[in-house]
Amino acid sequence: MKSAFLPDRGVVKVAGEDARNFLNGLITTDVDRLKPGLGRFGALLTPQGKIIADFLITEAPAGHGGGFLIDCPKALADSLATKLKFYKLRAKVTVDNLSDDLGVLAAWDGQPAAQPDLAFADPRNDGLGYRILVPENLKQKLSDLIGAELVDAAEYEAHRIALGVPRGGLDFMYSDAFPHETNMDRLAGVDFDKGCYVGQEVVSRMQHRGTARTRSVKVLLDGASPE
């Protein structure tokens, strides 16, 4: 088994007695189905249905203060937290960017020998393995605990590309792509049976009318690839 700490990923926490309903009314995945040890893929969209930020989300166990932890691009963590606060209104929730203290360890090519508290299977593709939310200074200790060889993040990136899973900011631009264009509907990132969320009308129409004009696809090349 291999593991890699992903320096481009950050963590945003949403907590409080209204946190579940608050998030469920905003993002593309069904937060009601979340529990500790389980992760889901989702996104916050513009009212026009384009992706502001995509992320993985899990519920923190009571021993870690409860609430929901969002594994998102580190460069977008501050702006995502700010956007969530914009929607807060009178909801009893707190939103904090924990990226200075908590990061993301990916583990793949095997089963973990132990199950850390803030670990969950990546719901997008079985081959992507697991995510573990952990401070960077514990990456080696956690890798040893789960029986993984700690490798450079570039190895995980090559693995992700080989599986054909798009990465925001590289394979598509934020605020410029619809979920269908980045295969979120095929990667369990959009729940079409849940209630309304920001941008839901556009995404639902695209689903039912089949109007997605572009898709992210995997291309295999013989020889050198273009930049």
Q: What is the CATH number of the domain that holds 51?
A: 3.30.1360.120
**Is residue 219 included in any domain, yes or no?**
no
Tell me whether residue 22 is in a domain.
yes
Residue whose pair of structure tokens reads 């556009």 in the numeric block:
202
Average pLDDT over residues 90-118: 95
Q: From residue 182, how far is each of 53, 73, 89, 138, 178 by CA, in Å?
A: 12, 16, 31, 32, 7
Lowest mean pLDDT segment, chosen from 81-85, 95-99, 119-123, 191-195: 191-195
Residues 169, 171: Cα–Cα separation, whole Å: 6
Q: Note the pTM of the prediction, 2 decimals.
A: 0.93
Q: Is residue 217 part of a domain?
A: no
- State residue 95 phi and psi, 5-degree precision: -130, 125
Percent of the chain exceeding pLDDT 70 equals 100
List the domain range (segments joined by +) for residue 117. Answer: 2-209
Task: Check residue 213 and give its pLDDT.
Answer: 84
| pLDDT value at residue 174 | 95
CB-based burial, 129-165: b 16+ in 10 Å, e otherwise: bbbbbbeeeebeebbebbebebeeeebbbebbeeebb
Paired tokens of 220: 């295999």
The gap between the terminal CA atoms of the chain, to the nearest Å, is: 30
Domain assignment present for 123:
yes
Within-domain flag for 164: yes
> Based on the structure, what is the number of domains in the chain?
1
**Which pLDDT score, from 0 to 100, does residue 212 have?**
81
- CA within 13 Å, CB half, 105: 29
Amino acid at 218: K
Total Cβ atoms within 10 A of residue 22: 22
Distances (CA, A) of 37 to 44, 125, 131: 22, 16, 10
Specify if 220 maps to a domain.
no
Q: What is the pLDDT of residues 144-196, one digit of tens each?
A: 999 999 999 999 999 999 999 999 999 999 999 999 999 999 999 999 998 89
Alpha helices in the chain, H assignment, sequence order: 19-24, 77-88, 139-146, 153-163, 200-209
Structure-block tokens of residue 187: 């990667």
Residue 225 falls inside a structural domain? no
Whether 214 is in a domain gets the answer no
Q: Is the pLDDT of residue 63 over 90?
A: no
Q: Over the chain, what is the mean pLDDT?
A: 94
Q: Is the pLDDT of residue 112 over 90?
A: yes
Percent of the chain with pLDDT over 90: 86
Identity at 62, one-letter amino acid code = A
Q: What pLDDT digit, counting tens, does each position of 4-62 carry? A: 999 999 999 999 999 999 999 999 999 999 999 999 999 999 999 999 999 999 999 99
